[in-house]
A and B are shown apart, each in its own frame.
Chain A
Amino acid sequence: MLKTIFPTLGRIRFTVQILMLFLTVYGGALLGSYTVDRISQALPALSCAYDKMTGDHCILIVNQHQLHHRVGEALVKAQDITLKVFIPVAMSVGVFFMFFFFLNKAFCGWVCPLGTVQELLYRIGRRLGRPLNRFTPANVGRVRPVKWLMLLVLVLALPTLAGMGVVSNELGDPFCQVCPSRIATTLLTADSEQIAVRTSTGVNFFLGALGNAMFGFIVIAALAARQPFCRICPLLSWNALFQKLSPMRLVKKDVHEKCAKCGVCEKACPMDIHEIGTEFGKKAFHEDCTLCGRCAEYCPDDDVIQLKFFGLRIFASSREHYKRRVKAETPEGAPKKRFINIRFDKPKSEDD
């Protein structure tokens, strides 16, 4: 029965994504208004604090606030840099890591509401027959550093400088002001406040206009490109800082030299991590990996790509799973059937 409902890892992930979308977008309305104070307030996913129904807050808004209101202000008064200042920051990072430890970057691939929204848009794009735009091994390197720049400038530097009074106070949480998740999740709760651009000052207006334009771009781009914002998301780089510290891993081994470098796993990767097709060991678990598990699902060789927790195998690639997966969907994510057809008896396969 369970295998009928969840025949593939992809189906399990999709179900988790939808559940997490409800928790992160509507959790406060479903579980009580004050849920937001009680889960983590440092979630490794873009669960937006501007969403009045959200069930939890993203770590990035907490970081920006602490750097702005505590660290930045304290740096000005050097004598005030004490444990009292750094404890709240350490607490946030500690709580974040308590969650992150168990799922690692699966927060990006399984929990993040913006990731789910982009994936749903991409599915719509496949059904509308739109093309797939990908980064090649030659040009993917151009976009990868952007996420580090976003983290450094928008999440770390500007909030600290705003707290120190060096730059305008409006730059206290600049990433939130351009984050598409802020607009997407609030619109999902029928709240149009965040899509309205702030006009009080030039800085506010610039950030708002930039954020809205980026949101519009992402909505359309997601129809024809996989996870367009994830590639430059500062939470991806923030999570990458900690990814080696979690026992949840993507592992690729050249088991009995089975890997024929067929490249199917590369095609399946929504982040265009070409290294997964060519590398092994640590290099295969790339900083851009969101632990979605698609590479493992679409690897036609037994046990070559695995998801492991503390060395224990959670999921491993297999010929059997690959065959089941490609019946429903191409590695690039295009459905074999135009409409979803839920059947509880074993369907007759055209390939059989």
Chain B
Amino acid sequence: MDMSGGHDHAAMMQGMGKSAAWTLYPTLKARMSGESRETMKTAVVPQNIVTANIDAWSNNLKDVNVYRQLPVDMGGAMLDKPANGGFHWLSAREEEGETVRVASTVYPFNERGAKDPTAMFMQQKHELEIIPQPFPREHSRYRANEDWQFLVRFNGRPLPGQKVYLETSNGSMAEFVADAQGVVKVHVPDDFKAETERKGTGGHNHGMRRSAELVLATEHADGGKTYLTAFNSSYGPNAFEKRSLAMGLGFTLLGMLGAVPLLRQRKAEPKSEETGNA
């Protein structure tokens, strides 16, 4: 598969000119900036793809702003949080000669009462698509050593037997094949290396969680054209990193033992169950 066909327009732009060094597939990198939560902005930076606009779909299909074209400038395309929040589908398309390349990703603005994004995800946006089934919801994300499903389709029709390639910024590569329904089950590789402890970052600081990037890509030829579509997202370490199941079970057992005296029948206990003090 030729993945290097596109020249890096983003790389030519000052300030955002970094190609995704870990992959040659087209990707969209969302970056948050701003001092406080209220003033935070999201810039979407296209990588390995030439585009003047980022297409953005909000999950509220009835909204007049359900589809927006965000112009790409020096800092990328600015994605502001709409009133209804929710999940956003972002994509960039590049057509050069007989090659069509698409980068896509999902950006979630967590919001109470946001619409179910499933219908928006399933709406056809490009010829060749990779669609998460589902995308991780709030308090969840892609994590190493987990299986997640994606639908691969062309012009709205599933592509059974389609090959999907995975690359991660940690250096892993893998290949998966879609089933008869065009659904591919992707195993996220457990490829995080042990890190040195960062003091003071704590266990619940969303901004400091370990994270890596993954991209899924697939290619399909039709009508004399070659279509390459990629879907990228971030993922975290496996669920049991810095956790101990053995110690967890041990402390649970300890607690259980602590309650065992409550189970003992008292000798002088009358038939009615109401005696005895906790």
- B255 on interface, CB distance cutoff 8 Å: yes
Q: Does A334 contact B (CB under 8 A)?
A: yes
B204 within 8 A of A: yes
* B202 x A172 contact (CB < 8 A): yes
- Contacts A169-B202, A198-B203 given; indicate if A220 touches B112 (C-beta within 8 A): no
Is B75 in the interface zone, CB < 8 Å from A?
no
Task: Say yes or no: B262 contacts A133, CB within 8 Å.
Answer: yes
The chain A residue with its CB closest to the CB of B272 is A332
Asked if B245 is at the interface of the complex by the 8 Å CB criterion, the answer is: yes
Residues of the B chain whose Cβ atoms lie less than 8 Å from the Cβ of A169? 200-205
Flag whether A73 is at the interface (Cβ < 8 A): yes
For the complex, is A168 an interface residue (Cβ under 8 Å from B)? yes
A224 partner residues in chain B, CB cutoff 8 A: 259, 262-263
**Docked pose: A216 CA to B240 CA in angstroms:** 20
A199 touches B247 (CB 8 A): yes
Binds B, one of A101-109, A207-215, A236-244, A275-283: A207-215
Contact with B along A127-149 (1 / 0, CB 8 A): 00011111110010001000000
Contacts of A49 in B (CB 8 A): 138-139
B175 within 8 A of A: no
Instruction: Specify which chain B residues have a CB less than 8 angstroms from the CB of A41 in the assembled complex.
Output: 112-113
Q: Which of the residues B202, B243, B257 comes within 8 Å of A168, measured between beta carbons?
A: B202
Q: Determine the distance from Cα of A325 to Cα of B101 in the docked complex, in whole angstroms.
A: 70
Contact for A34 among B37, B116, B240, B275, CB less than 8 A: B116
Contact residue range for chain A?
35 or more
Q: CA separation between A38 and B256, bound complex, in Å? A: 37
A142 to B, closest residue via Cβ: B278
**Alpha-carbon distance between A209 and B258 when the two chains are bound, in angstroms:** 14
Residues of A near B86 (CB, < 8 A) are 37
Check if A220 sits within 8 Å of B276, measured CB to CB.
Answer: no
Query: Is A197 within 8 A of B251, CB to CB?
Result: yes
Could you say which of B37, B251, B273 contacts A334, with CB atoms under 8 Å apart? Answer: B273
Of B137, B197, B254, B264, which one neighbours A131 at CB under 8 angstroms? B264
**Residue B244, interface by CB 8 Å:** yes
Instruction: Encode A277-311 as 1/0 by CB contact (under 8 A) with B.
Output: 00000000000000000000000000000000000
Task: Check B274 against A134 for contact (C-beta < 8 Å).
Answer: yes
Tell yes or no: B14 within 8 A of A by CB. no
Considering the complex, give the chain A residue whose CB is closest to the CB of B266: A131
How many Å lie between the Cα of A284 and that of B81 in the bound state?
A: 49
Is A349 part of the contact surface with B, judged by Cβ < 8 Å?
Answer: no
Is B117 in contact with chain A by the CB < 8 A criterion? yes
The smallest C-beta distance from B197 to any residue of chain A, in angstroms, reads: 8
Whether the Cβ atoms of B277 and A196 lie closer than 8 Å is no
Interface residues as binary, A80-99 with B (CB distance below 8 Å gives 1, 0 otherwise): 10001100000110010000
Question: What's the minimum C-beta distance from B70 to chain A, rounded to whole angstroms?
Answer: 24
Q: Give min CB distance, B200 to chain A, whole Å.
A: 7
Closest to B116 in A: A34
* B277:A34 contact, CB within 8 angstroms: no
- Asked if B110 is at the interface (CB within 8 A of a chain A CB), the reply is yes
- A residues in contact with B273, CB < 8 Å: 131-132, 330, 332, 334
Check: A7 CB closer than 8 A to any chain B CB.
no
Given contact pairs A50-B139, A133-B276, A183-B252, a sample of 12 additional A-B residue pairs in the complex whose CB atoms are under 8 Å apart: A36-B138, A37-B137, A41-B113, A84-B38, A91-B112, A131-B266, A170-B203, A170-B204, A197-B251, A198-B203, A215-B252, A217-B256
A-B contact pairs, 23 of them (CB 8 A): A33-B134, A34-B137, A38-B114, A40-B112, A57-B139, A125-B263, A131-B262, A131-B273, A131-B276, A169-B201, A169-B204, A169-B205, A170-B203, A195-B249, A195-B252, A197-B247, A198-B242, A198-B243, A203-B203, A216-B253, A216-B258, A221-B259, A332-B273
